[in-house]
Structures are given as structure tokens and as C-alpha cells.
Structure 1
Amino acid sequence: MLNILGRDAISRALTPVGTSLARKGVSPNAITVTGTIGVVLFAAIFYPKGPHWFFLGSLLITLCVLMDMLDGAVARASGRPTKFGGVLDSSCDRVADAAIFGALAWYYGLRHDRWMLLAALLCLVLGALTSYIRARAEGAGLTATVGIAERAERLIVVLVGAGFTGLFGPKAILAVALWLLVAASTITVWQRFATVYQQSRALDRAPVG
């Protein structure tokens, strides 16, 4: 949803920065990899330390996530967008998402908090499934870009939830955020399966020749 409503505006805002970096010869793939490494490191360093570190970790992760949009601006400005860059970007997104939810699962697993561990793991699995359905659909010539919890929404909810938990303390803030994401991601998976099914049925009923 936010991908549709906000991506164009954000892309326009990042265009001057992307143009400047492209002129300096900065590679969009290097930005992608650097941002992903940053997310992995900050998630692994700060989230397992506990809620007192959640705010700082979430803030630094957010800055790295923003690089995910900057790499596209650099690629467009340099006139060198490539298929490899698209594959690398999507793959790095999955790594970054896994690092965030995996680090939270690690923290709550060490403290034997079964419900928070389960919520984090479900968010990780459902988020990956959401992206996988879209990739498989596009490979089959279909589209599956619908859903109330695409990557942007998932990241906003988990990072805001973790950040507020770090600022104000109650675990309930992050608990609500994670279980809300579980529900929204489940709905999104259903929406994408339903969309692909409808498109597939329409193609099956289409006259041949």
C-alpha cells in the first residue's frame, strides 16, 4: 500500500541525492550491499541486548533501510539499472528483514518468552512468504502486488514498535506491533493467493487462438 502511495514521492525527493552520488561514480549495488550489512549488524548488536537498546538499534536500522530507496535513485540517475541489480536488491531485502525479526526472536528466545518468540518467527515466515508469492507470480506472468502489509508497512510497524518499546519500556508495545503484523501479513498472503488464483482462472477461461 505504501509502495503505491508513497514510493513516487520518496523517489522524487531522493533524485537529487542519487544524481550527485551517480556523478561521483558510486555504484547502486554497493549502496544496496552496504545498507543490508548495516541492518544485519545493528540488528544483531542492539536487539539482543534488550529493550534499553531497541530505540538506538531501530534508529540506525531505519537509516540503513532508507538506503534501499537510494540505490534505485542512483541507478536511475546513472542510467545503469540492471536485472542483476534488481535481483540483488530483492535478495538483500530478504536478508535485512530476516535479520530484524531474527534478532528479536533471538532476544525473546534467550529469555524463554514463547509468545514473543512465536510472534517474531511468524512475522519472519509470513513476510518471506508474501515476497515469495509475488516473485513466483511474476515468474508465471501474473501480478501479486496487492496486500495491506507489504514490506514498507512491515518495517514501519516493527521498527516503530521496537523503538517505542525502547523509549517507554512496556513490552506490550512491541507485542501489539508484532501480533498486528502477524494478522496483517496473514491477510496479505491470502490476498495475494486470491489475486493469483483469479488471474489464473481468467487465463484458463480465455479462448485459445
Structure 2
Amino acid sequence: MLNVLARASVSRVVDPIGRTLVRAGLTPNGMTLIGTAGVVVASLVLFPLGMLLVGTFVVWGFAMLDLLDGAMARATGRPTAFGAVLDATGDRLADGALFGAIAWWCFVVDDNRTAAVAALLALVLAQIISYVKARAEASGLTAEGGLIERPERLIIALVGTGLHGFGIPHTVEIALWILVGLSTATFVQRVVAAHRSAREAGR
């Protein structure tokens, strides 16, 4: 949902950083692995311990590395098909760890089963939304866009955990149910887009 102007603005900021990191000897795939490992470890360690504020900032910092691996790939001038696969795989692992950890916090720390259900639904929907697009593209179809994509999911989830970490109650549950609603709409949008693409292709 982030518009082209916003993406272009972000690229203008991160592309110089990407070129600097490449000159320093780092690789896009290495940055993907660092970012994914950081999000997974921070999520699974900090959130279950109830450290929502610290966890929010640490996870957000590592998630931002996802912007840099693309900038680094552009800087090398030779982005690879395997790099794209690794990046997408890392995103799914990171999303699963984040929402799984939030679900654990809801169940065990906050004792809020309703919020935990929302976290699990958000986790499943995040994976399905990405799968619909990937499967459509593998079939030669398109299933782009929708109300929210991965950046928006991260923003909404981490705003909820961060605000709760600052002492504002109920923000995690509110953020999760907003995610469930928007993700459900996005899932439907992508299935409809794939169906329309198939019909236009005569398949």
C-alpha cells in the first residue's frame, strides 16, 4: 500500500547506505541473514519475557536491515534470483517469530486469550497473503497490492507493542485486531486479483 513516492523517498535515503556497506565488504545476502536472525532472536527472547518496549525497538532496528539488503543488491548491480528467494524466506521466518512471540506474550504474560487468538490469526494471514502472491507469480499471474503489505503489518504490530511498553493499555490487542481485519481484506483482494489475472490470460 506504500505508494511509489514513499518507496522512492526511502530508496533515496537507503541507497547511499547500501553502497557504503557494499564497499565495506558486506553482501546483500549476509545483510538478509543478519536482519532475519536479529528479528527472530529478539522476538523470541524479549517479548516472552514481557520486555515489550525494548523488544519493539530492537525488532524494528533489525527489520530496517530488510531495506538495506535491497539497496545493497542495487548497489552491486547484479541482484540474484537466490537473493530474492532468501529475502522472501527471511521475511516469512521473521513474521512467524514476531507474531508467534506476541501470541506467547498474550497467552502467558498478559493472560489475554482473545488477543492471543488475534495474534495467531495475524500470523496465519501474513503467511497466506504472501503465499497467494508467490503462487500466483509462479503460475504466471499477478496478485499485487492490497490494503496492507509487510511494512504496514510491522508498523501496526510494533506500534501496538511499543505503546503498551510505554504503559498505554490494550494497544497490543487493538493493533492485532486491526491487523486481522486489514489482512483479511488484503487476502481477499489478492485472491480476486489473481482470479482477474487468470481470466484475462484465458486460464
Q: Same fold (TM over 0.5)?
A: yes
CA distance in 2, matches of 1:86, 1:3: 21
Residue 174 of structure 1 is matched in structure 2 by 172
Instruction: Please give the TM-score of this superposition, normalised by the length of structure 1.
Output: 0.92
Residue type at the aligned position of 1:15 = D
- Mapped partners of 1:174, 1:106: distance in 2: 12
Correspondence 1:1-209 to 2 at 5 A: 1-2=1-2, 4-50=4-50, 53-111=51-109, 112-170=111-169, 172-204=170-202
With 100-109 and 2-11 compared, the bigger mean Cα shift is at 2-11
TM-score, normalization: structure 2? 0.95
Which ranges of structure 2 fall in alignment gaps of 5 or more residues? none
Which has the larger helix fraction? 1
Are the aligned partners of 1:3 and 1:152 in contact in 2 as well (CA < 8 Å)? Answer: no
| Letter aligned with residue 128 of structure 1 | Q
SS at match of 2:79: coil
Q: Which has the larger radius of gyration?
A: 1
One-letter amino acid of the structure 2 residue matched with residue 49 of structure 1 = L
Unaligned runs of 5+ in 1: none
When the two chains are superposed, the root-mean-square deviation of aligned CA atoms in Å is: 1.3
For 1:38, the aligned partner's letter is: G
Instruction: State the distance in 1 between where 2:48 and 2:3 align.
Output: 30
**Aligned residues: percent identity?**
46
User: C-alpha offsets along residues 119-173 of structure 1, whole Å, 9 cap, x if unaligned?
Assistant: 0000000000000000011111111112101111100000011000100241x11
How far apart, CA to CA, are the structure 2 residues paired with 1:69 and 1:162? Answer: 22
The Cα shift of 1:80 comes to 2.8
Change (3 A) 1:3 1:130: farther
> How many residues get paired?
202
Determine helix, strand or coil for the equivalent of 1:19: helix
